[in-house]
Structure 1
Amino acid sequence: MKTKLFALSVLSAASCAAQAQSTVTLYGVADSYVEAASAGNGNVMRVSSGGVMGSRFGFRGSEDLGGGLKANFALEAGFLIDTGASTGTTTIPTSTVPTGGSYMFQRLATVGFSGGFGSVNIGRQYTPHFGTMAAFDPAGFAMSGALNYYAGPGVGINGGSLADATTRRDNSIQYTTPTWSGFKASLFYAMGESTGAGQPKSTGDTLNVAAGYSSSTLSAQVSYMTEKTVYLLGNTDKYTDVAVSYDFGFIKPSAIFVRRRGEMTGAPALDAYQIGASAPVGVGKLIATYGQLKNKTTANADSKAIGVRYDYPLSKRTTLYAGATRISNSANAGYTISGGGGSSAGLALSSIGQDPKSVYAGIAHVF
């Protein structure tokens, strides 16, 4: 009897130890704002989602496999606070051949390993190209972030068609090195998984390399990405990103430059840049950005954007914010204002060439 009790106690202890080595976390963001806006068709008051961060919920976890090796996963879904709708229910065909299917975890779905060698993740995930822009934007690629408005869709720096989105890619594998004296690099490859029916088998294939350096004050990163596009079969779009920031303490300026070129006639040739800064003001943070998009393909299709925002933390998890932003479009440009990562519907323009503007205030809660 004593032997059985001893065996049961050992098994119970082993089970508890195994559970202690595994963790699963529920997390998310609830972010909504009210804006008074105009886009050439009169003033409008509306409630939107994702002023400073796209609203989302997700699960992430890891298991300690011993020897410094961990197995990890992440599943993240987006939603709109103003309506409760899922951002994954609308068809977003980022595979080579649009299937008409919906996403359950549109924002992120990965599994992989991490250890002293760095990390490897497989699934649907952000490209280093997008990560370079987002990491150096003081507005967090959200409201009042000029570059956010030019990241797509349409013929923005990330646009072309829904089927070749460059923010996230399905069917991807990414290796990220550990940090060595401030240096880190990433290698990303996404498979288009084309059957070759009516298009090259390489259609949708995406390759992205990036490298960066970060210290207590200086940060810099470069990224180069190629993508076999769907919107123009046989074409390869090439993206080059350069970003830098320096923290002086009383102010942190940053600059981002993005160049997009295609190999074939008809592929967009675009340059975009943003200069911005953040500075502590009181207990909060004041943010300002200015950016331009230069369209080298279409005449009179350039655009300029400017924005300011103040973030006021009520606690470590809850932030009040308010700001103003404006886009000045040339006659053939139709860029508009939208929230974090395009998580809210863009302000509808009355016609191409209009100059949208917005004054807004909101609240973001992280859980």
Structure 2
Amino acid sequence: MKTKLFALSVLSVACCAAQAQSSVTLYGAVDSYVEVASAGNGNVTRVSSGGMMGSRFGFRGSEDLGGGLKANFVLEAGFLTDTGAGTGTATVPTSTVPTGSNYMFQRLATVGLSGSFGAVNIGRQYTPHFGAMAAFDPTGFTMSGALNYYAGPGAGINGGSLADATTRRDNSIQYTTPVMGGFKANIFYALGESTGVGQPKSTGNLFNISGQYNGSALAAQVSYLTEKTVYLIGNTDKYTDFSISYDFGFIKPSAIFVRRRGDMTGAPAIDAYQIGASAPVGVGKLIATYGQLKNKTTANADSKAFGIRYDYPLSKRTTLYGGATKISNNANAGYTISGGGGSSAGLALSSVGQSPSSIYAGIAHVF
């Protein structure tokens, strides 16, 4: 009997140890807002999803392999709270190999290793280029974030965007260095997996390198990305961006600059910048941004945008928010307002050159 009890005790300890070495977490966010918006046909009132953050759910986990080495994975799917629909259907991008696939985990699907050497992740993941913009935008590239509206190509402007299909990429490998004195770097490579039929085999390939510094108050990041485009075979798009912020305590200003250039005639050539700030006001946070996009490929296709928002936390997990935002498009620009990637689509403009605006209020809950 004592032998059996001892064996059961050992088995119990072994099971507990195995559980302690591995962990899986379910997490997510649910975000809805109501807006009164205008896009050229008078005002419309609608319920939308993802004003402060894209609604999502996901699983992340890690296994302790010993010696400081861990295996990690993330699977993250998006959805729209106004309809319950998933956000996993791929759209035909302008600057990568189109797949037309349906994604179960459109936001993230990675597995990798981390340790004293840093981290390596493989799968579908964010590019450092997008991270260099979103991390320094006080809205996190959501409603009232000026540069957020310029991440997509818009209408009638020859693909004049800051991100196109470079926010996340399939078939990617990313190495992140350990933090050393506040500095870290990312090296990112994604395969277009072109067969080479009618186009070079490098078509769709993307390379991105970035460096970031995070101090007690000062933060900065620079990123350089190149992509062999499919919308213009033989062209290489080049994105350069620089972001900086400084936390004074009573206010945190930031600035972001992005340049996109192709090396063939007809490729988009744009410059854009945003200045913004966040400041504690009461128990919440006041956010303001202003940005401009200069389209050097299409004439009279520049745009300006501004936004203001107040985030009021009811708890650590639930936040009320509200704000106002407007875009001023030139005659050949067609940018519109939305919460960003994984959010409800922006209100369609009645025609290119219209200048949309929105007043909105919503609630976000994370779990």
Write the distance in 2 (CA, Å) between the matches of 1:340 and 1:286. 19
In structure 1, the partner of 2:224 is 224
In structure 2, the partner of 1:44 is 44
TM-score (norm. length: structure 2): 0.96
Contact 1:212–1:221 (Cα < 8 Å) also in 2: yes
5+ long unaligned stretches in structure 2:
none
Please tell me the root mean square deviation across aligned C-alpha atoms, in Å. Answer: 1.5
The 3 A distance-change label for structure 1 pair 237 and 208 is same
5+ long unaligned stretches in structure 1:
none
In structure 1, the partner of 2:143 is 143
Map 1:118-267 to 2 at 5 A.
118-154=118-154, 155-158=159-162, 165-267=165-267
Contact 1:93–1:101 (Cα < 8 Å) also in 2: no
Deviation, 1:340, is 3.2
Write the distance in 1 (CA, Å) between the matches of 2:93 and 2:267. 20
Aligned-partner residue type, residue 188 of structure 2: F
Deviation, 1:5, is 4.3
Contact 2:236–2:263 (Cα < 8 Å) also in 1: yes
Write the distance in 2 (CA, Å) between the matches of 1:96 and 1:126. 15
Aligned-partner residue type, residue 171 of structure 1: N
- Partner deviation per Cα, 1:114-170 (whole Å, 9 max, x = no partner): 11111000000000000000000001100000000001134243455xxxx100000
In structure 1, the partner of 2:103 is 103
Deviation, 1:259, is 0.2
Write the distance in 2 (CA, Å) between the matches of 1:115 and 1:122. 15
2:341 counterpart SS class: helix
In structure 1, the partner of 2:117 is 117
Write the distance in 2 (CA, Å) between the matches of 1:36 and 1:173. 42
Contact 1:141–1:147 (Cα < 8 Å) also in 2: yes
- Partner deviation per Cα, 1:36-78 (whole Å, 9 max, x = no partner): 0101111100000000100000000000011111000000000
Contact 2:87–2:342 (Cα < 8 Å) also in 1: no
- Partner deviation per Cα, 1:173-208 (whole Å, 9 max, x = no partner): 000011111001100000111110111100010000
Identity %: 83
TM-score (norm. length: structure 1): 0.96
* Number of equivalenced pairs: 363
Contact 1:96–1:194 (Cα < 8 Å) also in 2: no
Write the distance in 1 (CA, Å) between the matches of 2:224 and 2:163. 16
Write the distance in 1 (CA, Å) between the matches of 2:354 and 2:16. 62
Contact 2:242–2:257 (Cα < 8 Å) also in 1: yes
Aligned-partner residue type, residue 157 of structure 1: S
1:255 counterpart SS class: strand
The 3 A distance-change label for structure 1 pair 327 and 91 is closer
Aligned-partner residue type, residue 138 of structure 2: P
Contact 2:130–2:163 (Cα < 8 Å) also in 1: no
- Partner deviation per Cα, 1:312-349 (whole Å, 9 max, x = no partner): 00000000000000000000000000013252111110
Contact 2:94–2:231 (Cα < 8 Å) also in 1: no
Write the distance in 2 (CA, Å) between the matches of 1:90 and 1:200. 23
Write the distance in 2 (CA, Å) between the matches of 1:39 and 1:30. 26
Contact 2:312–2:320 (Cα < 8 Å) also in 1: yes
Query: Is the aligned partner of 1:329 residue 2:333?
Result: no
1:341 counterpart SS class: coil
Aligned-partner residue type, residue 217 of structure 2: T
Contact 2:207–2:225 (Cα < 8 Å) also in 1: yes
Write the distance in 1 (CA, Å) between the matches of 2:188 and 2:231. 22
In structure 1, the partner of 2:74 is 74
